[in-house]
Amino acid sequence: MKAFHWILLYCAAPLLSDVQGTYHLMAGDPELMAAQSYAQTRNNGRPPLRTLNPAKTDSQCRSRSLDLVFIIDSSRSVRRGEFEKVKIFLANIVDTLEVGSDSTRVAVVNYASTVKTEFLLKDYFSKLDLKKAISRIEPLATGTMTGLAIKTAANEAFTEQSGARPRSRNISKVAIIVTDGRPQDQVEEVSAAARGKGIEIYAVGVDRADMRSLQLMASTPLEDHVFYVETYGVIEKLTSKFRETLCEVKVEVVEDPCKCEARLAFQKQTQAAIQQLAAKLADVTGRIERLENTVGRA
């Protein structure tokens, strides 16, 4: 009978080894397992770092129809490399929109001590053309006449002659201001006048931007219309915020705060290990039954 016990242990040894390995796998550090699975899942599906490539489009949502005007500060304090990051930021927002003559139209007003309307709402109706136009924008280099820029946008860029839809169409009119300084002119009255014309204003401050001025420019509630980032190097992180603001229907989950993907991956891995153990258990059970029959006949 002792020989039978030794044979039984010999047959069961592979199963016990697998059970022990699976136990250490799940009991050792499940949080680490989940984190690794999550990282692998995200990295496998993560797109390459995005640059201002006009030929690349990447629609992230169905945007509501807009007449959208960017008002961008290109004064002396904005270095050329920083201005390029602003242009990438604009292009990334364009990428999230449905652009077209019957959907979202986009214009850009560039300002420093003077104001230059780079292109109008009626000029481009495709993402490719818009991003090519954005890539050609050059900084103006001096002064920060933010009030003059807002007035120009309200009185010129948002007119029907420039491509804005008539008020009867109920198309949202949105201005997004990006600045890193303190205005050298008055912004309160011109901003109020622009808002009075039905223009919703978002103010994005960078680095040295004056928070009080941003609040005077922006629509209410201020917590939804005033944004601040420490440097131009991280301005792209606001893209997802504007995607949420400008989208009607989102088609991509950008973040996974609950680590649901990691949990699913861990569950699948655990289920596979259990299935393997079950198959080996059935094999060992069969061997034991055959041994029992052999011993019984002996």
pLDDT tens-digit readout, 177-231: 999 989 999 999 999 999 999 999 999 999 999 999 999 999 999 999 999 999 9
Contacts of 90 (CB under 8 A, 6+ apart): 70, 72, 108, 134
121: helix, coil or strand? coil
Look up residue 248 and give its two tokens: 């009607």
Instruction: Give the pLDDT confidence score for residue 82 in this predicted structure.
Output: 93
**Which residue intervals of 98-253 are DSSP H helices?**
127-135, 146-152, 188-196, 211-217, 222-225, 239-246
Q: How confident is the model at residue 248 (pLDDT cuts 50, 70, 90)?
A: low
Residues 112, 83 contacting (CB under 8 angstroms): no
> Strands 61-63 and 247-250: what pairing?
antiparallel
> Packing angle between helix 30-45 and helix 260-297, nearest 10 degrees?
120
Contacts of 134 (CB under 8 A, 6+ apart): 52, 54, 87, 90, 91, 94, 108
pTM here?
A: 0.65
Burial class (CB in 10 A: 0-12, 13-18, 19+), 54: middle
The closest of 162, 71, 153, 82 to 112, measured between CA atoms, is 71
For residue 297, count other CB atoms closer than 10 A to its CB.
6
* Residue the block writes with tokens 């890193």: 180
Strand partners, 243: none
Cα 134 to the chain's mean position, in Å? 20
**Average pLDDT for 144-172:** 96
Give the per-residue SS3 of 56-116: CCCCCEEECCEEEEEEEECCCCCCHHHHHHHHHHHHHHHHHCCECCCCEEEEEEEECCCEE
Q: Tens digits of per-residue pLDDT, 7-61?
A: 555 545 555 454 444 444 444 444 434 433 333 333 344 333 344 555 554 555 5
Q: Tens digits of per-residue pLDDT, 125-152?
A: 999 999 999 999 999 988 999 999 999 9
Statement: residue 255 has pLDDT above 50? no
Residue with more model confidence, 65 or 64: 65
Contacts of 68 (CB under 8 A, 6+ apart): 97, 104, 105, 106, 107, 174, 175, 176, 246
Q: What is the mean pLDDT of the chain?
A: 79
Q: What are phi and psi of 148, to 5 degrees?
A: -65, -35
Question: In the chain, what percentage of residues exceed pLDDT 70?
Answer: 70
Q: How confident is the model at residue 298 (pLDDT cuts 50, 70, 90)?
A: low
Contacts of 283 (CB under 8 A, 6+ apart): none
